[in-house]
Amino acid sequence: MKDDKLRKAAEKITMPDDLKNRILDQCSEISANEKRCGIDHNTVSGVERVQSHPIRRTLTAVAACAVLAAGVGTGIHFMPKSGGSESASSTSEKELDVDESALPADISVIFNNDFVCEGSRELTEEQRNDIKYIVCGFDWTEITQEEFGNIDEADSIYWFEAVDGAYIYTLTLYDNDRAFFVRNTPEDQSEDSGAEVNGIYFRVKSAEIVEKMTEYFSSGDETEVPDGEAVPPLAGIAEREYKEIGYSSDNPLSEEQRLALDKLVSETEFRLEPNCNAVYRVPAYFFTDTDAESSLTYFYSTGVAEVREYGKTWFYQFDFDKFSKAVDEILFPDSIYSGADLVCRNMLNENVTMHAMKLCENKTLSDEGRQAMYSFLSNARFRKVDDFDDIQTYICTPSCDWYSRKLGFESYDFFCEESCWSMIFYDCGKLEVIDYSSGEQEVGYYLYDDNIGLDTAVHDAFPEFSSSYPLFGSLYKMGEIKVNGEVVEERMVKNLSNAFFGYDYSNNVVNDSFRSEEPVYTIETSAMQTEAGEEYTLTIRVYKDGTLEYNDTEGKIHSFDKLGFPEPMGEPLLTFDIETALDPDFYE
Amino acid sequence: MLSCDAIRDAVEEYGDMLYRTCVLMLGNVHDAEDAVQETYITYMRKAPPFSDSEHEKAWLLTVAANKCRDMLRYRKRHITEPESVLDTLVQDSESSYILEALMMLPDKFRIVLTLHYIDGYKVEEIAGMIGKSASAVKMRLQKGRKLLKEAYRKE
């Protein structure tokens, strides 16, 4: 078979004229709409299919009743912050202000029903009205299923659901700029459904909706700590059968797991306090006893644990990050790997060549590089998963470095051809290991949580990569970032950070002060602590001629007269890239 | 947003290439048409800047390929009816046989073979495009060629 034959055969496939006409007709329609309304209607028509939704973790009827009883019993009562401590009548006054017509009709349906939130936790009529009030304050845009994409509801912050006749309505809010409203049918939500379905999707592109929801739920009256002895998290787990309520199934805990969790909670500091902030968020972990489902413990990523037992509720504060790592190791013992288990057996063999590739640049690993990477891997923790669905990757063109950075994709690829082994670190915390030494390709997917450790190891391993590494570090690891006084949306920070990679930082002039010229961009981080314990705010100034300045921790100003622009772009990349990173349209 | 004239030019210039790639990736004319149509609508709305036509072509192909991958992921979870499309698209039997053989291959091999032998992309470029290492792409090409040869003989 000649490869040319394949190409020639394929060339006989040509685009039908009616498809060309359809595309052009749709473009004309969009263009006309834009002109007529001056707004983006998002009228892209596509295949209207609904993705399968994971089965929400819901309690059985017994547990749901227990939750409801607990909620009512403790008298939890929420008021929107704007309402302050006004009387309950403010809800009805506010109801008059709710402009439900601002919502697409399909969204309004959810509010005409008794909707519940995560874990079948029911809401009072007053709460439903308040939530409607918040939701009505945003512009919802209809999107296609394709635009909706593959959303992992496990990552959501708030989740509400209503059932009305044949349809299920869900409102899901995430911690960035994503909020979705979806209407579909129970059959659509079934993993086994092969039917074509007619889901309807709406989106709000604003982080504010989550902020408002959090503000609302945080501003409720503090709950009274119930009388009597407080029940601790996972009470009696050493003696009773327990299960973890997962997204797709309940996971009964083995005795070994229960004992380990019992030990963990006894070693973790839980501080009892009246606090209802966490309620109605999606918990990170949710446990209940198996028999009566009368004892419920929720652990939230905000560092709040909620314990419900026999109509009483207690709230605790604790160190979530530390606790979470330990829980993962107990719940998913077979999924946690030390990096040492994943390393190519020849990584430290001096006779074997190890390569590393960052974007399109290929390097040979030095002995020091091997050691640095091995050291990082040996100390890092990886959790095995089935697959990655959402790594966005883009083509490498001749100016691949520019193109990849522009699109926010970056990875480190380590490979050893002699051993037929490859390890790819994606900077979104994902690792892919490919081993085809047996002749068959074996691929493992892992999550890791030590981006900084990886960066440090890579920069120790490849000082030559570091020439393009900003001397001030990666902005996206520095918390809140402001550009010209405005806080940058989280989704933009990563690309803004990437905009500073790839320049020649060797041409470094040190001054005592910034130039007097007005910069085009002033980028500031929030206050950080230096190693000496002093407060430090990183300020980067970018001038019209492309010059960049930043202040170091000692107050010195580092200046870069000229920035390198990768060929063949040949245009002022820095300005272009910062603009792009801050351009909301780029993220459409 | 791009003008309709600009889209018309892009359809004339790259339409066949995109359609061909989508058909071969998806093995389904209707899905391929959707993927191509959505690619152009995305292009119109985003109006990304390009330094040259190679960038433009690469961007369009990447967006289309990502849409195809989304559709293939969807299919993993949903049973869809297989569709024989080549009879209507390719008239002569010899060409049809080799393309049928290509369509019979698993997605991961069909995609790299299409991108390499039909669209002319290099291994490193495909690696970037599908998010795999260059070594993995080479392996897929190697095995894909072998499988294609076997499938073609059977045809």
Look up the ipTM and state it: 0.83
pLDDT value, residue A265 = 92
**Domain region containing A538:** 475-587
Coil, helix or strand for B8? helix
Instruction: Report pLDDT for A47.
Output: 22
Half-sphere exposure of A96 (CA within 13 A, CB side): 4
Identify whether residues A115 and A59 lie together within a single domain.
yes
| Calpha distance A278→A300 (Å, rounded) | 7
A566 in the same domain as A444:
no
> pLDDT tens digits for A231-243?
889 988 888 888 8
Across the interface, whether the CB atoms of B135 and A191 are under 8 A apart is answered no
Q: Final residue of a domain: which of A398, A426, A457?
A: A457
Average pLDDT over residues A330-338: 76
Residues of chain B contacting A34 with CB distance shorter than 8 Å? 1
Task: Mark which of A331, A358, A393 sits at the end of a domain.
Answer: A331
CA atoms within 13 A on the CB side of B104: 17
- Is A222 within 8 Å of A275 (Cβ atoms)? yes
Asked whether the predicted pLDDT for residue A141 surpasses 80, the reply is no
Cα distance between residue B16 and residue B32, in whole Å: 12
Residue of chain A minimizing CA distance to B136:
A434
Asked if residue A518 has pLDDT above 80, the reply is yes
Whether residues A86 and A201 share a domain: the answer is yes
Please indicate whether residue A161 or residue B39 has the higher confidence score (pLDDT): B39
Q: Are residues A146 and A81 in the same domain?
A: yes
Q: How many CA atoms lie within 13 A of A501 on its CB side?
A: 22
How far apart are the C-alpha atoms of A111 and B44, rounded to whole Å?
36
pLDDT: which is higher, A567 or A497 = A497
Q: Is residue A252 part of a domain?
A: yes
pLDDT of residue A375: 79
Q: Which residue of B has its CA nearest to A435?
A: B136
User: How far is Cα A333 from Cα A342, in angstroms, rounded to an integer?
Assistant: 16
A46-50, B68-72, B92-96: least confidently modelled range:
A46-50
Q: Over the range B66-93, which residues count as b (16 or more CB within 10 Å of their CB) and which as e?
A: bbbbbbbbbbeebeeeeeebbeebbeee
In a domain, residue A233? The reply is: no
Most confident of A101-110, A463-472, A487-496: A487-496
Q: Are strands A336-338 and A361-364 parallel, antiparallel or unpaired?
A: unpaired
**In a domain? residue A466:** no
The candidate with the shortest Cα–Cα distance to A117, out of A213, A202, A189, is A213
Helices (H) and strands (E) in chain A, counts: 16, 31
Please give, rounded to a whole number of angstroms, the shortest distance from the CA of A517 to a CA of chain B.
29
Is the pLDDT higher at A101 or at A524?
A524
Whole-number pLDDT of residue A313: 80
For residues A492 and A319, which has the higher predicted lDDT (pLDDT)? A319
Shortest CA distance from A412: residue in chain B: B133
Q: Do B54 and A397 touch (CB under 8 A)?
A: yes
The answer to whether position A237 is within a domain reads no
State the residue for tokens 């990757």: A393
CA distance A235 to A231: 6
Average pLDDT along chain B? 77
Tokens 């999707």 correspond to: A201
Residues A530 and A553 in one domain: yes
- Say which residue the tokens 């797991």 belong to: A257
Q: What are the structure tokens assigned to B72, written together?
A: 């293939």
Residues A507 and A375 in one domain: no
Rounded Cα distance between B133 and A417, Å, is: 12
Chain B environment of A1 (Cβ under 8 Å): 98, 148-149, 152
What's the mean pLDDT in A136-164?
69
How do residues A375-407 score in pLDDT, each as one tens digit? 777 777 787 776 664 443 333 322 333 333 333
Q: A327, A394 in Cβ contact below 8 A?
A: no
Q: How far apart are CA A571 and CA B144, in angstroms?
A: 40
Q: Judge: B78–A585 Cβ closer than 8 Å, yes or no.
A: no
Confidence of residue A211 (pLDDT cuts 50, 70, 90): confident
Report, as an integer, the average pLDDT of A157-183: 74
Mark yes or no for CB contact A434/B136 under 8 Å: yes
- Domain assignment present for residue A266? The answer is yes
- A107 and A26, same structural domain? no
The residue with greater pLDDT, A66 or A370, is A370
Under 8 Å between Cβ of A54 and A247 = yes
Total structural domains within chain A: 5
Q: Evaluate whether residue A234 is within a structural domain.
A: no
User: What mean pLDDT is predicted for residues B26-53?
Assistant: 82
Give me the sign of the Cα torsion angle A506, A512, A516, A518: positive
Q: Do B38 and A146 touch (CB under 8 A)?
A: yes
Among A310, A331, A352, the domain-final residue is A331
pLDDT in tens, A2-38: 457 778 888 888 898 889 998 888 888 877 766 653 3
By the 8 A CB rule, do B41 and A30 touch? yes
pLDDT tens digit sequence for B115-131? 888 888 887 777 767 76
Enclosing H/E stretch for A21: helix A17-37
* CB contact set of B5 (below 8 Å; sequence gap of 6+): none
Q: What is the average pLDDT value for chain A, to the nearest integer?
A: 67
The CA distances from residue B63 to A179, A539, B40, B124, B150, in Å, are 24, 36, 9, 18, 31
pLDDT in tens, A248-302: 456 788 999 999 999 999 999 998 877 555 566 677 788 888 766 677 888 887 7
**pLDDT(A576) > 50:** no
Domain co-membership, A311 together with A294: yes
Q: Are residues A67 and A209 in the same domain?
A: yes
Q: Given the structure tokens 């459409």, which residue do they identify?
A: A588
**Same domain, residue pair A71 and A209:** yes
Residue A235, in any domain of the structure: no
- CA pair distance A118, A554, nearest whole angstrom: 49
Q: What is the pLDDT of residues B52-92, one digit of tens each?
A: 777 788 778 877 877 787 677 665 544 444 455 565 666 66
pLDDT-derived band at A326, boundaries 50, 70, 90? confident
B82–A contact, CB cutoff 8 A: no
Say what the pLDDT of residue A74 is.
Answer: 25
Single out the residue of A312, A320, A53 nearest to residue A197, CA to CA: A53
Q: Are A75 and A137 in contact, with CB atoms under 8 Å apart?
A: no
Q: Quote the minimal CA–CA distance from B46 to chain A in Å.
A: 7
Chain A / chain B CB contacts < 8 angstroms: 194
Question: A23, B98: Cβ pair inside 8 Å?
Answer: no
Residue with tokens 């059932």: A163
Point out the least confidently predicted range of A167-181, A461-475, A508-522. A461-475
- Would you say residue A7 lies in a domain? yes
Does A338 or B149 have the greater pLDDT score? B149
Please tell me the predicted confidence (pLDDT) of residue B16.
92
pLDDT of residue A352: 64
Please check the confidence at residue A40 and state whether its pLDDT lies above 60: no
Residue A237 structure tokens: 């787990």
Please give the residue that has the higher pLDDT: either A398 or B155: B155
For each of the domains in chain B, give its residue range(s) and CATH number, in order of start: 1-83 (1.10.1740), 86-155 (1.10.10.10)
Q: Which chain A residues are within 8 Å of B89, Cβ to Cβ?
A: 12-13
